[in-house]
Amino acid sequence: MPYFDTASSAPLHPVARQALLAALDEGWADPARLYREGRRARMLLDAAREAAAEAVGCRPDELVFTSSGTRAVHTGIAGALAGRRRAGRHLIVSAVEHSSVLHAAEVHEREGGTATQVAVDREGAVRAGGYAEALRPDTALACLQSANHEVGTVQPVAEVASVCREAGVPLLVDAAQSLAWGPVAGDWSLLTGSAHKWGGPSGVGLLAVRKGVRFAPQGPADERESGRAAGFENIPAVVAAAASLRAVRTEAAQEAVRLRELTERIRRRVPELLGDVEVVGDPERRLPGIVTFSCLYVDGETLLHELDRAGFSVSSGSSCTSSTLTPSHVLKAMGVLSEGNVRVSLPLGAPEADVDRFLQVLPGAVAAVRDKLGAPAPRTVVEDDALVVDAVGKLCPVPVIELAKVIGDVPVGGTVRVLADDEAARLDIPAWCAMRGQEYVGEEPADRGTAHMVRRQV
């Protein structure tokens, strides 16, 4: 069964498996002890740290291992903010950061700090100027992902790092998605990563803090990992994480070329095969293996089930799932269509034949879902020369389906008023208008739900 969701978690690399099994026999002792078993464990830990530091592009004594990538983010943000408390309590993040960063920002605000979100363009990228505008005299820390986890867009880290450095503000880079492909460019101050993203075992993260960066570890003091990651080191997992990172780096250049060709094939063919689809993310500045698209009139969770039955494991940032009633914060910040969202993230060595079969299966899966969701009949009335579609109580993508059904019933220049109470409508109705050449006028208050005003242009 083709696994196309490595952006969530990559399969364990063969080198990681071998290193893990070997380290289970050799690295079980306490590396802080001076007897033979402890010294052996310490040698394994030190070698893993040197290998990981070389891959990151920092000194070994600047890097510590944590219990996860999320823990690395939380530790890095909390420690940097505390270390620069005298400078101020203002934090800057981008609007499309991983949830671990945004959750840390929420905690910071609840504890009396302030946070600014820097907007992104329609392709998911920030501007260095956006960070320059957000910087204040009391800014303690700025955060920026190296590449987006949902759409693959690579961020201008070097430019943002330069802006922050000039202002004397450290930049923390969440590099979880990109470390497999190479070191992060730019004069960053802190960096985090997560082993399961590059084929290492889960439960291992890394945090690099450059020398000279003010950093105050939070929580009870612990003598391990420079006091920045409490608890007994999981040496076998750490060894496997470092070994797999080194291994994927040796394959990265060649695999990047091959995976870019495959994802470009998907980006090109999906609009031709499906229609009413938007491929999102930067078409050039992007990670090699990720491609994301959103389909009109499709429920994302249902489409994923259809693809799963056809033998493909993919993921979705769609708002239309049973677990959430709000749009993906990444797609929302980009202002793109969220309904029927599919993210394909190819593993190293993904066969070309699997991609071709995916493209063969996809049109039938989308057609089946669209057929299932085409049944709802809109209840329409005419009020003040505007056609009113009552979609209150109906979840994405039904409000958009019903709008599409009736837009032709009004003359060019006429208005359709869509009543909806689904949060996703705020994103998907304007996105539909942009895709279909109609004018989204805006929202109006309504007795039931919110009225979304659409003017027919074509």
Find the catalytic residue in 143, 164, 320, 396.
320
Q: What percent of the chain has pLDDT over 70?
A: 95
Residue 320 is a catalytic residue: yes
Please tell me the distance from the alpha carbon of residue 61 to that of residue 226, in angstroms, as a whole number.
Answer: 8
| Token representation of residue 292 | 């994301």
Please tell me the distance from the alpha carbon of residue 123 to that of residue 285, in angstroms, as a whole number.
Answer: 10
Alpha helices in 125-178 (DSSP H): 128-134, 157-167
Torsion of CA 266, 94, 319, 451, to 10 degrees: -120
Please tell me the distance from the alpha carbon of residue 197 to that of residue 8, in angstroms, as a whole number.
Answer: 7
pLDDT at 323: 47
pTM: 0.87
On whether the CB atoms of residues 416 and 433 are closer than 8 A, the answer is no
pLDDT at 384: 61
* Placement of tokens 């007897």 in the chain: 35
CA atoms within 13 A on the CB side of 279: 20
Q: What is the DSSP string of 272-303?
A: HHHSSEEEES-SSSB-TTEEEEEETT--HHHH
| Token representation of residue 86 | 């005298």
Q: Are strands 139-145 and 171-174 parallel, antiparallel or unpaired?
A: parallel
> What is the tens place of the pLDDT at every residue in 126-180?
999 999 999 999 999 999 999 999 999 999 999 999 999 999 999 999 999 999 9
Q: Is 76 exposed, middle or buried (0-12, 13-18, 19+ CB in 10 A)?
A: buried
pLDDT at 416: 94
Please tell me the distance from the alpha carbon of residue 315 to that of residue 151, in angstroms, as a whole number.
Answer: 11
pLDDT below 50 — which residues of the chain?
319-325, 375-378
On whether the CB atoms of residues 139 and 90 are closer than 8 A, the answer is yes
Helix or strand run (H / E) with residue 145: strand 139-145
Specify the amino acid at residue 287.
L
Please tell me the distance from the alpha carbon of residue 364 to that of residue 81, in angstroms, as a whole number.
Answer: 51
